[in-house]
């Protein structure tokens, strides 16, 4: 029985850490962390990981997803991007991630999303303003926003793992 408990604990922590690691690759790691915490709570009759903690983790996971999205959009706007450029950053990021994945699995997703955000924002801004320098600046802002959004989400996911860790220990 003790061997199963140790294996269960190891699997639990591997999945929790994986939740942080997969975020740069476009996988919603915060929800992976939430799911892992739920399974742990279920197995332990919610004695250590409680329903209230799960509710808080759920709200944090939702907030992280929304925050990642809005950081990218807001940074595009902060660099002078139009609404069309903000839309272009979103479309470009999604398209870049989709196109990058088959080229270089995992890493291609990340590179594609960042490059796509840049290209989408820059193209849409150029079509709107006909100003090449501004389009490049806006594209760079979209790139920075995409990177900042990922790092913010990684920080939030790390905080979620720490919260669960304090609850479990």
Whether 49 and 168 have beta carbons less than 8 Å apart is answered as yes
- Which domain range does residue 120 map to? 2-168
With tokens 């006909």, the residue in question is: 130
Q: How confident is the model at residue 55 (pLDDT cuts 50, 70, 90)?
A: very high
- Distance, CA of 16 to CA of 26 (rounded, Å): 16
111: which residues sit within 8 A by CB, 6+ positions away?
96, 100, 104
Q: What is the pTM of this model?
A: 0.86
Residue 139 C-beta-side C-alpha neighbours within 13 Å:
19
Cα 9 from chain centroid?
Answer: 25
Residue 111, both tokens: 């590179």
Tell me the pLDDT tens digit for each residue of 147-158.
999 999 999 999
Percent over 70 (pLDDT), the chain: 99
- Distance, CA of 153 to CA of 74 (rounded, Å): 15
Q: How many domains does the chain have?
A: 1
The 10 Å Cβ neighbour count of residue 130 is 9
pLDDT given at position 1? 65
């Amino acid at each position: 029985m003790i061997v199963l408990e140790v294996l269960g604990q190891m699997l639990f922590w591997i999945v929790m850490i994986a939740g942080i690691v997969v975020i740069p690759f476009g996988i919603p790691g915060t929800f992976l962390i939430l799911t892992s915490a739920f399974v742990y709570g279920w197995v332990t009759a919610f004695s250590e990981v409680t329903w209230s903690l799960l509710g808080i983790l759920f709200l944090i996971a939702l907030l992280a997803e929304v925050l990642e999205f809005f950081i990218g959009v807001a940074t595009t706007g902060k660099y002078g991007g139009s609404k069309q450029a903000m839309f272009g950053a979103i479309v470009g990021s999604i398209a870049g991630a989709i196109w990058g994945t088959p080229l270089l699995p995992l890493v291609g997703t990340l590179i594609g999303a960042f490059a796509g955000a840049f290209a989408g924002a820059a193209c849409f801004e150029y079509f709107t303003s006909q100003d090449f320098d501004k389009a490049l600046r806006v594209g760079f802002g979209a790139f920075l926003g995409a990177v900042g959004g990922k790092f913010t989400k990684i920080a939030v996911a790390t905080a979620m793992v720490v919260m669960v860790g304090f609850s479990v220990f």
